[in-house]
């Protein structure tokens, strides 16, 4: 089997962060979401992977070029965001007639897909879709199942959902999907919907099998979902302390904290699950649970909890605890006087500067 990762979205729901950063490169527990997806496919035995890219292609290629991932990557340009089915259609040359798994590059899924891929690779059906019960199905593609568990119909982002079963961003196909993506027309949204292509397969008598996922799943396209996904991934980490990390005698670091190479924790309290990235400095501060500090970050005289701070940022001298926040690259958050402490909640893009009063 081959893998196809869709990584061409603009990430408008994560702005201002994604004005300058591909949404698939935002890290969960200090590992970009896209890298997690690639490693998930690799761990399932898939080493030939195509990545559909758009305007953020240079950033994605540069990030992946720095990593030893153990797979062969082929980049496929999608000139305009015409839908998931369109992404499949333009990937025909790479995919050939091989069976493949399509994975949305901004999705995080508990437990991986090894068993799913193995079953599909050795099964006799034409497609498999992964479903998850959600509270807001109108925001997703939705499946209606018959009493015997087979798929009756699929609909994309319906105003009146026929069920609470959303299509998770993982799909498996054989070569018949290319007939489907060529047969459908653009939806009311102006896109070639993968739900319409799967519905075409069903109506033509091809066998499409549903699988209901019981673990957690997040589309990380919005800040609250990104923070929750980060919390879940942090909770799954096996904590480690790098040999050259520095934790002084005045600090308290509990057993659920990962401290990466070259990081320094000075006169601080760090509670896990959390992660302190390479060459970052935590000084005279409190870092609370479910916080990811990426590489080359400085946190001094602050309290931070349940937040993500990206590389080369500085969080300095805050008079209030910063929580539930997403801080971009090279950002600076500080204060210029000593006002009454208040809670802070922020979603900052790269190179931001915030002064609290």
- Of 237, 229, 306, give the one whose Cα is nearest residue 271: 306
The string of pLDDT tens digits covering residues 85-104 is 999 999 999 999 999 999 98
101 vs 115, which has greater pLDDT?
101
Query: What are the boundaries of each domain within the chain?
Result: 2-234, 237-356
What is 237-356's CATH number, 2.160.10.10, 3.30.1490.190, 1.10.10.60, 3.30.70.2860? Answer: 2.160.10.10
**pLDDT at residue 267 in the model:** 97
Q: DSSP H helical segments within 143-293, as ranges?
A: 177-183, 194-203, 223-236
Query: pTM of the predicted model, to two decimals?
Result: 0.86
The string of pLDDT tens digits covering residues 120-141 is 888 889 999 999 998 888 888 8
Query: CA torsion 35→232→324→17, rounded to 10°?
Result: 20
**pLDDT at residue 18 in the model:** 62
Q: Percent of the chain at pLDDT above 90?
A: 54
Q: What are residue 154's DSSP bridge partners?
A: 143
Q: Which fold has domain 2-234?
A: Spore Coat Polysaccharide Biosynthesis Protein SpsA; Chain A (3.90.550)
Q: Does the pLDDT of residue 176 top 90, yes or no?
A: yes
């Amino acid at each position: 089997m081959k893998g196809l990762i869709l990584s061409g979205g603009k990430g408008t729901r994560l702005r201002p962060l994604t004005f300058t950063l591909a949404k698939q490169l935002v890290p969960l527990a200090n590992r970009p979401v896209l890298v997690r997806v690639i490693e998930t496919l690799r761990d399932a035995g898939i080493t030939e992977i195509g990545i559909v890219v758009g305007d953020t292609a240079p950033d994605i290629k540069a990030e992946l070029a720095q990593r030893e991932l153990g797979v062969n990557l082929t980049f496929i340009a999608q000139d305009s965001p015409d839908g998931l089915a369109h992404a499949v259609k333009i990937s025909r040359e790479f995919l050939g007639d091989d069976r493949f798994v399509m994975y949305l590059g901004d999705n995080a899924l508990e437990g991986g897909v090894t068993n799913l891929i193995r079953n599909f690779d050795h099964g006799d059906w034409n497609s498999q879709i992964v479903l998850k019960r959600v509270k807001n199905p109108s925001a997703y593609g939705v499946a209606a199942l018959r009493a015997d568990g087979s798929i009756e119909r699929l609909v994309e982002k319906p105003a009146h959902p026929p069920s609470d079963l959303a299509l998770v961003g993982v799909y498996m196909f054989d070569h018949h999907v290319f007939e489907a993506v060529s047969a459908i027309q653009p939806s009311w949204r102006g896109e070639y919907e993968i739900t319409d292509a799967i519905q075409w397969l069903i109506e033509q008598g091809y066998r499409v099998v549903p699988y209901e996922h019981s673990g957690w799943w997040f589309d990380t396209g919005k800040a609250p979902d990104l923070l929750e996904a980060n919390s879940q991934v942090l909770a799954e980490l096996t904590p480690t302390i790098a040999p050259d990390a520095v934790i002084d005698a005045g600090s308290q670091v509990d057993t659920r904290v990962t401290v990466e190479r070259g990081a320094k924790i000075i006169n601080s309290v760090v509670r896990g699950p959390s992660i302190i990235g390479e060459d970052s400095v935590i000084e005279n501060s409190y870092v609370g649970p479910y916080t990811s500090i990426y590489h080359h970050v400085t946190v001094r005289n602050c309290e931070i909890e349940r937040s993500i701070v990206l590389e080369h940022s500085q969080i300095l001298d805050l008079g209030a605890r910063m929580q539930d926040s997403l801080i971009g690259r090279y950002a600076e958050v500080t204060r210029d006087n000593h006002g009454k402490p208040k809670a802070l909640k922020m979603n900052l893009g790269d190179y931001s500067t915030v002064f609290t009063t």
